[in-house]
Structure 1
Amino acid sequence: MAEHHLIEGGPNAPEENKINPMLKFALELGPLVVFFFANSRGPWLAERFPALAELGGPLFIATGLFMVATVVALSVSWALTRTLPVMPLVSGFFVIVFGTLTIWLQNETFIKMKPTIVNALFGAILLGGLLFGRSLLGYVFNQAFKLDDAGWRKLTMRWGLFFLVMAAVNEIVWRNFSTDFWAGFKVWATMPITMVFMLCQIPLLQRHATESLFGDTEPKK
């Protein structure tokens, strides 16, 4: 019987229960959509659900619902695969911690700084892992892609640098623009930027794939 792991396996590890890559993406994006909707419709939500008004203004309502949606997304991942995805788990931890501080202290700074800290942490972990010969990005994408070791190293390096850049971008945006602009940027700019970055990695994925990216089960020659 295969050994069961609480945390999803690393690159080229024996697979347990798979989750559809699009569903996985939806579970990771869903909490952000909830956050944006709640921030933009905070007064409407407070009027229809008076208990939410106790949390404070729109950003605090959005933060509370963001925390709930994050826990739900992780719970669904666990129910489907009996494992927890590494990066959403780490991000979820900071959502809970910084979200709790945001609501408890009624201070928007904590939730606005969360993306900076999480992105900087991910970047440091990925680049730091490479120093010890570990391509940690495989813990995130191993179910979607099958790459050789050189491919995982290159992809890990690129994503590590990308996360550091996004940490800097978040700092610039939240410190220089309104809360509404920051919340919109978090969903409608951050995600497209990430998608464009991912599309730019396709040539690397094709060069280092051990299986076709388009469903062919024969290894690349």
Structure 2
Amino acid sequence: MSEKKLRPWVKLVLELGPIALFFAGYVKLKDQVFVIGGTEYDGFIVVTALFIPLMLVTTGLLWGLTGKLSKMQIATVVLVVLFGGLSVWLNDERFFKMKPTMIYLLFGGLLGFGLLRGQSYLRAVMEEALPMQAEGWMILTRRLCAFFFALAVLNEVIWRTMSTEAWVNFKTFGLTAALFLFFMTQGGVLSRYAIEEEKKD
């Protein structure tokens, strides 16, 4: 299936919509307890159970509308189903809270493996959208690898030492802001090693 162009706002809604709805659902249901099949489930578990099919639907829509999914999107939805499903099945919110840790360890580990081989796997994924010299890709890859490992550690610290509400706020706003700020601070590397396309008469 060939890749199709998608309006940026549609892509943004499909990617960030589930996270926003998870936060809104948690805020509304966090203090409630639901009895299903004779078992009590708190609001967090119920919202997690709703979040899983929502992620599957929006990811499916992205694939249907664009004809393509990135490896990061596929890995994310697989881990959502795995850890979210474990949380719901075992009625234990800890598994879902561990999901960001696993995601960032996976991404950091893949980038680190590439670096050990003298390669930038980040370049292989983003080179078409962001032409840059090889040295620039290696610098950006090393920084992003370290950043992913730092986020994994930070997520573990927060969910293990703080309340569920604090973790939900961190997951919804903190991780998004951290990723945005990281790439904002890499402007120097992006401009220094950028490859300008040759103009053709």
- Provide TM-score, normalisation by structure 1: 0.77
Q: Supply the distance in 2 between the matched residues of 1:168 and 1:128 (Cα, whole angstroms).
A: 19
Q: For 1:167 and 1:40, how far apart are their aligned partners in 2? A: 24
**Counterpart contact for 2:131–2:195, Cα < 8 Å:** yes
When residues 98 and 78 of structure 1 are mapped into structure 2, their CA distance, relative to the original with a 3 A threshold, is same
Task: Tell me what 1:204 maps to.
Answer: 189
State how far apart, in whole Å, the 2-side matches of 1:134 and 1:187 are: 32
Cα distance in 1 between the residues matched to 2:42 and 2:73: 26
Q: Percent of aligned pairs with the same residue? A: 35
Aligned residue identity for 1:27: L
Contact 2:33–2:41 (8 Å) recurs in 1: no
Consecutive unaligned residues in structure 2, runs of 5 or more: none
Structure 2 residue corresponding to 1:37, chosen from 24, 30, 34: 24
Matches of 1:184 and 1:146 in 2, distance apart? 35
After superposition, the Cα gap between the structure-2 partners of 1:77 and 1:115, relative to the gap in structure 1 and judged at 3 Å, is same
1:96 is the counterpart of 2:81: yes
- Mapped partners of 1:143, 1:45: distance in 2: 48
Q: 1:66 aligns with which of 51, 73, 86?
A: 51
Is residue 107 of structure 2 the alignment partner of residue 122 of structure 1? yes
Aligned-partner Cα distance in 1 for 2:14–2:144: 20
More displaced, 177-186 or 19-28? 19-28
Question: CA RMSD, aligned part only?
Answer: 2.8
Shift of 1:93: 0.5
Structure 1 gaps of 5+ residues are 6-15, 212-216
Matched, 1:86 2:71: yes
Higher RCO (CA-CA < 8 Å; seq separation 6+): 1
> 1:91-139 CA distances to partner (integer Å, 9 max, x unpaired)?
1101000111100110011001111111111101111112223322235
- CA shift in 2, pair 1:110/1:44, >3 Å: closer
Cα distance change on mapping 1:195 and 1:89 into 2, 3 Å: same
Q: 2:138 aligns with which of 153, 167, 181?
A: 153
- The count of corresponding residues between Structure 1 and Structure 2 is 197
Q: 1:106 to 1:23 in 2, by over 3 A?
A: same
Partner of 1:178: 163
Tell me if the contact between 1:86 and 1:139 (Cα under 8 Å) persists in the aligned partners: no
TM-score scaled by structure 2? 0.84
Secondary structure at the aligned position of 1:56 is classed as strand
Task: Report the equivalent of 1:105.
Answer: 90
Give 1:36's aligned amino acid. Answer: F
AA of the residue aligned to 1:146: P
Aligned-residue offset at 1:81: 2.0
Q: Residue deviations 1:37-70, cap 9 Å, x none?
A: 11111269999xx99xx88222112212221222
Counterpart residue identity of residue 56, structure 2: V
